[in-house]
Amino acid sequence: MRFRDWVCVYLGMGESFTGWAVLLFYGAAWVVGVVALGLVAVLALAMAVHRG
């Protein structure tokens, strides 16, 4: 199975659960991004406090 075919199946062509899978995937990616930004913000704040 080629990668493009797998992507088409994953995006919902012929499978009922793939819509939920896509939502969960993007939700997880969004959560990872928010956590990463939070860690960067905490690191920046810690560096600012340490310098001050």
Tens of pLDDT, residue by residue over 28-47, are 999 999 999 999 999 999 99
Distance CA 38, CA 23 (A): 22
pTM: 0.55
Report the pLDDT value the prediction gives residue 36, as an integer from 0 to 100. 97
Separation of CA 43 from chain center = 21
Q: Is 6 left (phi over 0), alpha (psi -120 to 50) or beta?
A: alpha
Distance CA 5, CA 11 (A): 10
**Contact criterion met (CB below 8 Å) for 18 and 12:** yes
